[in-house]
């Protein structure tokens, strides 16, 4: 298994977050590193070019973080909270810290696992009203 980038390793430490969570869990997707803390989720876009989506520069990743928050706040204003700089200061990499900005993360409120759409779909708990509500907001 390849070694994780330095920034990812640093963000696995609870001390890297301002709210000092008990722990941090990493979930990787094709496009992102997703850090699950007690109350929040921090999503950092990977520097990838998938042809249809290009995150290869810090500027592009920052732009797409901004777009993600802007677009998804229409559907989930209480979930998509902000864009947080990932910083390096005196050798420490922190979410929302002071110092040199090395990356950006989308900060979201962490939802209970039972409220996640994949769980609701698996348990046949998605109602026509829920679908209609999402469609009206989109």
Residues 78-118: pLDDT tens digits? 999 999 999 999 999 999 999 999 999 999 999 876 555 66
Going by C-alpha positions, the residue among 21, 22, 13, 27 that lies closest to residue 94 is 13
- CATH class of the structural domain 6-111: alpha beta
pTM, full prediction: 0.84
Q: How many CB atoms lie within 10 A of CB 23?
A: 10
> What pLDDT, on the 0 to 100 scale, is given for residue 133?
66
Q: Report DSSP letters for 10-68, one per residue.
A: HHTSGGGSTT--S--EEEE-SSEEEEE-SSEEEEEE-S-B-SS-B--SHHHHHHHHHHH
């Amino acid at each position: 298994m390849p070694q994780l980038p330095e920034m990812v390793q640093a963000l696995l430490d609870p001390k890297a977050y301002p709210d000092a969570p008990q722990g941090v869990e990493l979930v990787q997707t094709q496009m992102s590193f997703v850090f699950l803390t007690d109350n929040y989720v921090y999503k950092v876009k990977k520097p990838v070019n998938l042809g249809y989506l290009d995150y290869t520069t810090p500027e592009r990743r920052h732009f797409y973080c901004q777009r993600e928050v802007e677009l998804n706040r229409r559907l989930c204003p209480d979930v998509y909270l902000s864009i947080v700089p990932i910083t390096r200061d005196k050798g420490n990499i922190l979410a929302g810290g002071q110092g040199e900005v090395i990356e950006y993360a989308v900060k979201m409120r962490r939802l209970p696992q039972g409220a996640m759409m994949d769980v609701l779909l698996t348990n046949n708990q998605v109602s026509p009203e829920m679908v209609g509500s999402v469609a009206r907001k989109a």
